[in-house]
Amino acid sequence: MREDNCIFCKIANGDIPSKTLYEDEECRVILDLGPATKGHALILPKNHYANLFELPENEAEYVMVIAKRMAAKMTEKLQCDGFNLVQNNGETAGQTVFHFHMHLIPRYKWDNQLIGWKPMQATQEELEDTMNTIIAE
Ligand code: 5GP
Ligand code: ZN
């Protein structure tokens, strides 16, 4: 299940070389070309899914298993102090490559990186309203 003209399909399936940290039948883990920190990596399923919504549940489970294993290995090897998993869906959320991928971002006390959001304030009423919107049948 590949898509023509998808760079991550080509990388995941080995048609374009990459700095590969791990590979199996389902996925490839590569170093990001524009790393947020040393070791910033991406988990790429070999099948093409544009985003989380297209990703089948069994592949979603597997991606998280690989994320856990890679985070443990990279923490040991890179001696990082923390770890972010980031996964963007849609342009508004910062997605730039439309082949599902999970970012693995090692964090260092000194890295001075910005990965996150500025918290807003919400009243109990607003939270209640949001909750009801989401859980409504
Ligand atoms: P997104 O913004 O879609 O969540 O993340 C796309 C990521 O892919 C970015 O961090 C970007 O640096 C990385 N990237 C884009 N093109 C390439 C490429 O050709 N090779 C590698 N290794 N990373 C890429
Ligand atoms: Zn693709």
CB burial string 73-90: b at 16+ within 10 A, e below: ebbeeeebeebbebbbbe
Pick from 136, 39, 129: nearest CA to 81: 39
Could you give the CA distance from residue 95 to residue 18 in angstroms, rounded to a whole number? 20
Task: Give distance in angstroms: CA of 88 to centre of ligand 1.
Answer: 11
1: helix, strand or coil: coil
- Per-residue pLDDT, 1: 85
Radius of gyration over alpha carbons of the chain, in Å? 17
> Among residues 40, 48, 101, 103, which one is catalytic?
101
- DSSP type of residue 39: T
Pick from 87, 95, 94: nearest CA to 43: 87
Which pair of structure tokens corresponds to residue 55? 């990703």
Rounded to two decimals, the pTM is 0.97
What's the gap between Cα 133 and its chain centre?
27
Which pair of structure tokens corresponds to residue 64? 């998280």
Confirm whether 103 is a catalytic residue.
Answer: no
Task: Give distance in angstroms: CA of 29 to centre of ligand 2.
Answer: 14
Q: What's phi and psi for 116, nearest 5 deg?
A: 160, -150
Q: Give the position, in ligand 1's atom list, of the atom nearest the Cα of 7.
A: 19
Q: Whose CA is nearest to atom 20 of ligand 1?
A: 33
Amino acid at 93: A
Task: Give distance in angstroms: CA of 137 to centre of ligand 1.
Answer: 37
Q: Could you say which ligand is closest to the alpha carbon of residue 4?
A: 2
Reading the chain (137 residues) residue by residue, the pLDDT tens digits are: 899 999 999 999 999 999 999 999 999 999 999 999 999 999 999 999 999 999 999 999 999 999 999 999 999 999 999 999 999 999 999 999 999 999 999 999 999 999 989 999 999 999 999 999 999 99
Sequence-distant (6+) residues with CB within 8 A of 130 are 122
73: helix, strand or coil: helix
Which residues have beta carbons under 5 A from ligand 2 (an ion)?
3, 6, 8-9, 48, 99
Name residue 102's beta-bridge partners. 43
- Per-residue pLDDT, 38: 98
